């Protein structure tokens, strides 16, 4: 039964009435503070209150919500931890925000096969804490305290992607509730399979626009025998970038290589209380493996850094020192924000093939100098991915100047064969770049997929795909 001729408010009431009849009334909230908390993610100003928030505890709850929303044409946006930065979770008008953060069970742990199945609301930090005794860990580590479902939906990565890959490489299968409320399982537990279309990959990075993920089958990895971390500072940004490029080109299996420029390093020293470092451009390294392999990686890396005028290697030997260092790296966004606490920070996220990274960063530095804005640079340079954290005020002029710089940086990356987003995703913030990056034909196929899987466009409408031509076949 559909009621598309009634008003959006009446249709929403019908959905809520259906859910209450199904015994889900206690999971529905319209409290102002709950609505506010679900009206936006991080970083982007875009905000709109959802009409109601529903807290799911099981796949069946998600299916019940989507069945009702599909029948009554009510938009629904999945909400994990709300750490996404491109307006991903900002609801459409009269939408339900479907919060999965209460779905935190480890459904199965197969230590002998190095995999596990978890509910989508579990965070990667909670997963790692719970499986610590197995000697295994899950390596994908975005800076925010994100849920694994949200990380699938944004195809997230982090500091360890250079060694372990992104969510794309670390998810074996999914349970997904489709727009109609039908539940499907994709993939499986095996490391490879040659059967059928790769639907797991289709849902990874789909930002809640094709289905809602309720369970994730994850690859786990053995904790390395030896881990060693070091820091090398440089007087010149180009030397640091060149060092990162050469490390990757030489095939050194480094676990992490992160860049913080002098502005970011000064901010992180202040914010995270890092001692013993100068406010200079810095590379953070981590090496992992058997002791002999780590020693070899260290020797090769040190030689490359010193040949590029690295000032010296400082070691973070103890687990506490390493934790302090990587926590400082993960807190870099908040350190940049603390430079001007009342300002706003817009983070670019472009990525280029590693050989073009030096050229891109040199051009970006020129754009920043011309903009007159304060912009720390940092990033996962081993992947060719970096963030310019554009600090601006809240005036329309300040915002326009920041967006102008953002666009210049993105178009530089696209011209070098890159992408406008290496890890944050599209949401609303990157919509304008998709046609340049993918071309009209490719986008028309994506729109056809969206129409097939979500014919009434109830799933996170207005995100990921700009309007346009639909491939007809
Ligand atoms: C300080 C900081 C540092 C960050 N660093 C990184 C980084 O290094 N790397 C990186 O990749 N990202 C980073 N991010 C961005 C963010 O943490 C990631 O995008 C993360 O994957 C979002 O997860 P979440 O659980 O918060 O999802 P949310 O923000 O709640 O949702 C994100 C999107 O996924 C959809 N969604 C959520 N759950 C589901 C589900 N179960 N099924 C279907 N769709 C769903 C939502 O509708 C939305 O479109 C950072 C953010 C911050 C604030």
For ligand 1, is residue 82 a contact (CB within 6 Å)? Answer: yes
Question: How far away, in angstroms, is 65 Cα from ligand 1 center?
Answer: 22
Q: Which atom of ligand 1 is nearest to the CA of 167?
A: 11
pLDDT tens sequence across 173-226: 999 999 999 999 999 999 999 999 999 999 999 999 999 999 999 999 999 999
Burial profile 400-427: b = 16 or more Cβ within 10 angstroms, e = fewer: ebbeebbebbbebbbebebbbbbbbbbb
Burial (CB count within 10 angstroms: exposed 0-12, middle 13-18, buried 19+), residue 271: middle
Three-state DSSP state, 78: strand
- pLDDT given for residue 301 in this prediction: 95
Distance CA(258)–CA(279), nearest Å, equals 15
Residue 348 near residue 409, CB atoms below 8 Å: yes
Q: What is the Cβ-side half-sphere exposure of residue 2, based on CA atoms within 13 angstroms?
A: 8
Question: How far away, in angstroms, is 383 Cα from ligand 1 center?
Answer: 19
For ligand 1, is residue 121 a contact (CB within 6 Å)? Answer: no
Residue 91 DSSP class: P
To test the pocket of ligand 1, the residue of 138, 142, 186, 256 to mutate (highest count of ligand atoms within 8 Å of its CB) is 142
Between 215-219, 330-334, 413-417, 424-428, the lowest mean confidence (pLDDT) is in 330-334
Residue with tokens 């809520």: 16
Question: How far away, in angstroms, is 428 Cα from ligand 1 center?
Answer: 14
pLDDT tens sequence across 218-235: 999 999 999 999 999 999
N-terminal to C-terminal alpha carbon distance within the chain: 30
For ligand 1, is residue 100 a contact (CB within 6 Å)? Answer: yes
- Structural tokens at position 60: 């069946």
Mean pLDDT of 332-358: 93
Question: How far away, in angstroms, is 47 Cα from ligand 1 center?
Answer: 16
Mean pLDDT of 338-357: 93
Element (H, E) at 162: helix 161-164
Predicted confidence band of residue 4 (pLDDT cuts 50, 70, 90): low
For ligand 1, is residue 146 a contact (CB within 6 Å)? Answer: yes
For ligand 1, is residue 97 a contact (CB within 6 Å)? Answer: no
Q: Which atom of ligand 1 is nearest to the CA of 100?
A: 41
Rg of the chain on CA atoms, in Å:
23
- pLDDT given for residue 275 in this prediction: 87
pLDDT at 71 over 60: yes
Mean pLDDT across the chain, nearest whole number? 95
Question: How far away, in angstroms, is 84 Cα from ligand 1 center?
Answer: 4
- pLDDT given for residue 62 in this prediction: 98
Distance CA(219)–CA(190), nearest Å, equals 10
Question: How far away, in angstroms, is 183 Cα from ligand 1 center?
Answer: 23
For ligand 1, is residue 461 a contact (CB within 6 Å)? Answer: no
To test the pocket of ligand 1, the residue of 61, 147, 150 to mutate (highest count of ligand atoms within 8 Å of its CB) is 150
Residue 91 near residue 39, CB atoms below 8 Å: yes
For ligand 1, is residue 423 a contact (CB within 6 Å)? Answer: yes
- pLDDT given for residue 337 in this prediction: 92
Distance CA(271)–CA(258), nearest Å, equals 18
Q: Which atom of ligand 1 is nearest to the CA of 101?
A: 25
Question: How far away, in angstroms, is 82 Cα from ligand 1 center?
Answer: 6
Distance CA(151)–CA(202), nearest Å, equals 14
pLDDT at 133 over 90: yes
Burial (CB count within 10 angstroms: exposed 0-12, middle 13-18, buried 19+), residue 473: exposed
pLDDT at 59 over 70: yes
- pLDDT given for residue 144 in this prediction: 85
- pLDDT given for residue 5 in this prediction: 66
Q: What is the Cβ-side half-sphere exposure of residue 349, based on CA atoms within 13 angstroms?
A: 24
Question: How far away, in angstroms, is 141 Cα from ligand 1 center?
Answer: 11
Distance CA(183)–CA(276), nearest Å, equals 54
Alpha helices (H) along 155-274? 161-164, 167-170, 199-203, 237-249, 262-272
Residue 458 near residue 450, CB atoms below 8 Å: no
For ligand 1, is residue 96 a contact (CB within 6 Å)? Answer: no
- The torsion angles phi and psi of 407, rounded to 5 degrees, stand at -65, -40
Q: Which atom of ligand 1 is nearest to the CA of 148?
A: 25
pLDDT at 3 over 90: no
For ligand 1, is residue 91 a contact (CB within 6 Å)? Answer: no
Question: How far away, in angstroms, is 295 Cα from ligand 1 center?
Answer: 36
Question: How far away, in angstroms, is 109 Cα from ligand 1 center?
Answer: 24
For ligand 1, is residue 383 a contact (CB within 6 Å)? Answer: no
Residue 404 near residue 392, CB atoms below 8 Å: no
Question: How far away, in angstroms, is 243 Cα from ligand 1 center?
Answer: 30
Whole-structure pTM value: 0.96
Angstrom CA distances, 363 to 88, 318, 367, 369, 413, stand at 29, 38, 6, 10, 10
Distance CA(266)–CA(272), nearest Å, equals 10
- pLDDT given for residue 410 in this prediction: 98
Predicted confidence band of residue 157 (pLDDT cuts 50, 70, 90): very high
pLDDT at 143 over 90: no
pLDDT at 43 over 80: no
Predicted confidence band of residue 259 (pLDDT cuts 50, 70, 90): very high
Burial (CB count within 10 angstroms: exposed 0-12, middle 13-18, buried 19+), residue 199: middle
- pLDDT given for residue 66 in this prediction: 98
pLDDT tens sequence across 435-467: 999 999 999 999 999 999 999 999 999 999 999
Q: Strand 171-177's sheet: what is its strand order?
A: 106-110, 115-119, 212-219, 171-177, 183-187
Between 37-51, 111-125, 235-249, the lowest mean confidence (pLDDT) is in 37-51
Distance CA(207)–CA(74), nearest Å, equals 18
Question: How far away, in angstroms, is 350 Cα from ligand 1 center?
Answer: 17
- pLDDT given for residue 2 in this prediction: 53
Q: What is the 3-state secondary structure (H, E, C) of 322-384?
A: HHHHHHHHHCHHHHHHCCCCCCEEEECECECCHHHHHHHHHHHHHHHHHHCCECCEEECHHHC
């Amino acid at each position: 039964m559909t009621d598309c001729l009634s008003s959006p408010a009446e249709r929403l009431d019908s959905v809520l009435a259906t859910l209450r009849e199904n015994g889900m009334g206690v999971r529905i909230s319209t409290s102002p503070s709950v609505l506010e908390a679900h009206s936006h993610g991080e970083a982007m100003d875009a905000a709109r209150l959802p009409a109601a928030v529903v807290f799911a505890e099981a796949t069946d709850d998600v299916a019940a919500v989507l069945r009702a929303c599909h029948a009554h044409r009510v938009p629904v946006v999945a909400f994990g931890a709300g750490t996404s930065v491109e307006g991903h979770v900002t609801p459409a008008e009269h939408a339900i925000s479907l919060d999965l953060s209460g779905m935190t069970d480890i459904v199965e742990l197969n230590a002998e096969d190095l995999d596990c199945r978890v509910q989508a609301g579990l965070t990667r930090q909670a997963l790692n804490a719970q499986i610590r005794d197995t000697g295994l860990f899950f390596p994908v580590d975005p800076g925010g305290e994100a849920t694994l479902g949200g990380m699938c939906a944004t195809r997230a990565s982090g500091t360890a992607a250079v060694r372990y890959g992104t969510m794309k490489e670390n998810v074996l299968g999914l349970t997904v509730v489709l727009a109609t409320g039908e539940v499907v399982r994709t993939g499986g537990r095996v490391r490879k399979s040659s059967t059928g279309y790769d639907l797991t990959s289709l849902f990874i990075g789909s930002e809640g626009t094709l289905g809602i993920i309720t369970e994730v089958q994850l690859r786990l990895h053995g904790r390395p025998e030896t881990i060693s971390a070091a820091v090398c500072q440089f007087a010149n940004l180009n030397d640091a970038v060149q060092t990162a490029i050469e490390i990757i080109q030489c095939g050194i299996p480094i676990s992490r290589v992160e860049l913080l420029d002098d502005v970011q390093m000064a901010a992180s020293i202040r914010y995270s209380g890092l001692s013993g470092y100068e406010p200079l451009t810095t590379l953070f390294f981590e090496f992992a493996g058997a002791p002999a392999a780590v020693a070899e990686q260290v020797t090769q890396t040190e030689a490359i850094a010193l040949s590029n005028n690295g000032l010296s290697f400082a070691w973070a030997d103890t687990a506490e020192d390493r934790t302090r260092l990587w926590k400082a790296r993960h807190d870099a966004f908040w350190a940049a924000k603390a430079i001007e606490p009342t300002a706003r920070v817009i983070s670019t996220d472009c990525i280029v093939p590693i050989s073009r990274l030096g050229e891109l960063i040199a051009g970006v530095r020129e754009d920043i100098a011309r903009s007159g804005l304060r912009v720390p640079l940092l990033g996962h340079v081993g992947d060719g991915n970096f963030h310019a954290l554009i600090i601006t005020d809240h005036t329309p002029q300040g915002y326009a100047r920041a967006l102008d710089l953002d666009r210049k940086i993105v178009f530089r990356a696209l011209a070098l064969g890159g992408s406008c987003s290496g890890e944050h995703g599209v949401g609303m913030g990157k919509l304008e770049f998709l046609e340049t990056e993918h071309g009209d034909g490719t986008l028309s196929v994506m729109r056809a997929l969206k129409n097939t899987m979500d014919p009434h466009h109830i799933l996170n409408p207005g995100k990921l795909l700009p309007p346009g031509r639909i491939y007809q076949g």
